[in-house]
Amino acid sequence: MAIEKVASGWLVDIRPAGRNGKRYRKICKTKAEGLRWEAWMKHQHTLQPDWQPPKQDHRRLFELIQEWYRLHGQHLKDGERRRSVLENICSMMGNPVAAEIRGVDFTTYRSGRSTEVTANTLNHELAYLRAVFNELIRLDHWDKENPLKNVRPLKVDERELTWLSKEEIQLLLEQLANRRNPDAIKVAKVCLATGARWSEAEGLTATQVKNNQITYHRTKSGKNRTVPITENLYREIKTRRSGRLFGNCYQSFTNALADSGIELPKGQRTHVLRHTFASHFMMNGGNLLTLQKVLGHASIQMTMRYAHLAPEHFFDVIKLNPFNHY
């Protein structure tokens, strides 16, 4: 028997090496597909009698995620968080056989989830899952193509970057000065003076503050950066020789921000002080490359978001617009 019609398709049952050789069986969707597979198998054995067809990979997506974490993910700074995200994706996709995943499987999942999360979140999920396959390919633990290589990320509109005016900064500091937690205003001042993220400033230790400078470690980009501060701010925050300089005070900050009446777009609250530093830095004539180093951006493209605030930018708009030459 070579090819026979069965309930689920066409069964190919052959022994390419002869009656006493190894037996191979496969169910194909059509008879033509079965004939092609039979011819291909016979050709392979003609070229190389000892040839064996590659074994099917029955690993499911969850197994690949754990393999990725063991070989690579555990060494990433956010590896545990990434694994949690990946496992959640895996669960919602039904933990498919990895070898059977196609781009359309992810886009179908993405379509159903688009009402729950932002496009930016979905793009991160695509990047994380695609990276699992890329890393396993690099480590020779996946011998097929990346099934997500042709899936495009969703287009995301550039977010409005809100920054505080001098009057709003003063208003916010007045509110913080009235808080029970004295650390909130100190952390806010550090963010406004150095462009730090709130978590970076709140977690400062005494050893990071020396000689009127603050050195940030374990940053988002993975690189250390050192930013100078004034003598007055140095004395205000360097209150001990060891240990953390501040306690947890983010809730105190959010309460002060709410009481100030300052309105911010959704999602801007945590970074408004960092954006305020960068915006005023550029408006006061700062250099983009210096700003990139201070903020710790991995690429200048991230810092370019603030380029339009440079004084020369406004001057050129007024000087070079066509109406001015009418």
Q: What CATH number has the domain bearing residue 223?
A: 1.10.443.10
Quick one: which of 325, 315, 289 has its CA closest to 304? 289
Is 197 an active-site residue?
yes
pLDDT of residue 249: 95
The residue from 197, 225, 275, 280 that is catalytic is: 197
* 175 and 310 in a common domain: yes
User: Rounded to an integer, what distance in angstroms lies between the CA atom of residue 143 and that of residue 138?
Assistant: 9
In a domain, 186, yes or no: yes
* 281 and 181 in a common domain: yes
* 31 and 73 in a common domain: no
5 forms bridges with which residues in the sheet? Answer: 10
* 310 and 172 in a common domain: yes
* 71 and 13 in a common domain: no
* 298 and 214 in a common domain: yes
Contact between 98 and 61 (Cβ < 8 Å): yes
Is 306 an active-site residue?
yes
Is 297 an active-site residue?
yes
Is 274 an active-site residue?
yes
**Last residue of some domain: 102, 123, 138?**
138
pLDDT of residue 197: 93
In a domain, 154, yes or no: no
* 70 and 125 in a common domain: yes
In a domain, 157, yes or no: no
In a domain, 126, yes or no: yes
- For position 114, which CATH number holds? 1.10.150
* 179 and 303 in a common domain: yes
The residue from 186, 274, 275, 280 that is catalytic is: 274
Contact between 91 and 129 (Cβ < 8 Å): no
The residue from 83, 110, 189, 271 that is catalytic is: 271
Contact between 208 and 192 (Cβ < 8 Å): no
Q: How distant is the alpha carbon of residue 215 from its chain centre?
A: 24
In a domain, 107, yes or no: yes
Structural Rg of the chain based on CA atoms: 30
The residue from 72, 220, 238, 269 that is catalytic is: 220
The residue from 69, 109, 216, 306 that is catalytic is: 306
* 72 and 22 in a common domain: no
Is 217 an active-site residue?
no
In a domain, 321, yes or no: no
* 239 and 125 in a common domain: no
Cα separation values, 276 from 65, 207, 279, Å: 39, 26, 5
Domain count, the chain: 3
What is the extent of the structural domain holding 179? 166-316
In a domain, 323, yes or no: no
pLDDT tens, the chain, 326 aa long: 578 889 889 999 988 877 778 888 888 889 999 899 888 888 888 888 776 766 788 999 999 999 999 999 999 988 999 999 999 999 999 999 999 999 999 999 999 999 999 898 999 999 999 999 999 999 999 999 999 999 999 998 777 678 999 999 999 999 999 999 999 999 999 999 999 999 999 999 999 999 999 999 988 777 899 999 999 999 999 999 999 999 999 999 999 999 999 998 877 787 899 999 999 999 898 888 999 999 998 888 888 888 877 777 656 655 656 655 55
**Strands 225-228, 213-216: pairing kind:** antiparallel
**Last residue of some domain: 138, 158, 186?**
138
* 130 and 182 in a common domain: no
* 35 and 68 in a common domain: no
Is 109 an active-site residue?
no
In a domain, 258, yes or no: yes
